[in-house]
Structure 1
Amino acid sequence: MTEVYSPTTAPNPKASCCLVPSEHLEKTPLLLKIAQVLLSFVAFVLEESVFICTSCTPLYFFEFVSCTAFLFTLLLLILLSTSLYQRIGITCWPQLDFIYTGIIAVFLLISSIVFAADNTGSSLERGAVAFGFLAMVAFAADFLYVLKEHGHPFKRGAPPQEDMESAAPEGEKLNPPVNGTE
């Protein structure tokens, strides 16, 4: 006996918890974001393990930046890899991610340089600085990936810049004459 009716429903791929790749997070940026979270977390943990500092201001600045990079990137990763981003009400995720990634890359670079220049030279401090630089490289790679693959996210909605006055007028009419009349 053959089946007369076939199933009319298909599984909904959007019903799963994880939405990667999605419109806001492709596979390569996902891997870069995971690397950013892990590297900034290791930098933060190593920095937290430092017990003695001669000048603590660079240590505290590095702590603030690495912790911020870890926590906010983890939040961004969770939001963009699930359907939670739809409930937030933010519509400019590519621009937000682009600005955030660039700013964190700059702050990680600055804090890593400052902490590398002023520390006691312990292996924990050197390790924290190394992971700070590695996290900065991951953020910079994500920033450059977006520029290379998608261009500047703020120029997407802008019309192409063409000189409208130098454009030649249209040679043909849009509607051809009907029955030989114009």
Structure 2
Amino acid sequence: PKMPCLPGFTPVAKVDQAPHLEFTREIVRRFNYHFGPALIEPQIKLTDFPKVLGTDGVNKMSKTLNNHIELASSPEEILERVMTMVTDPARRYRTDPGHPEICNVFTLHKHFSPDDAPQIEADCRQATIGCVEHKRWFAKDLADYFAPFRARRAEFAADPNYVWEVLADGAERARAIAQVTIAEVREKVGLP
């Protein structure tokens, strides 16, 4: 039976997670082949961001490498992080035309502000906007984009008991579903 907490589609980034999910799918296929259908094979849903470069412009965005922007950061913290980002390495001077296709700031900006992307791209290519101006624009758009998240997070932080109740309720429901799946699997493989 299809249960709410069992996998349907699993969002993955092609570069680093798809092989793990494919391995899981193979295990599920083999189990179901040998013992009969009991497990649902998760389907891969590739994300729009196969790899998000960090603020260093070289490595994948990572808290460990400290080249990330936290979702809960204040607008000032976002601006500080964005201002350290690597931009178009081929653009040496403000008056040089830019190459948005190789600029990490533009790559991220177009995903968070798709309506602004054509204007940003044109301004960059025509050198009517510099990298510093673009970073400030992106930082503001990013801060605005995550403002509802920050507000909701503040609500949760103000009421930790509610968070614990939600977690306990979710764990109880997931446990009930898992018990059904585990019982079915045990029956299929002949375990008591």
TM-score (normalised: structure 1) = 0.28
Q: Greater relative contact order (Cα 8 A, min sep 6): structure 1 or 2? A: 1
Q: Which has the higher strand share?
A: 2
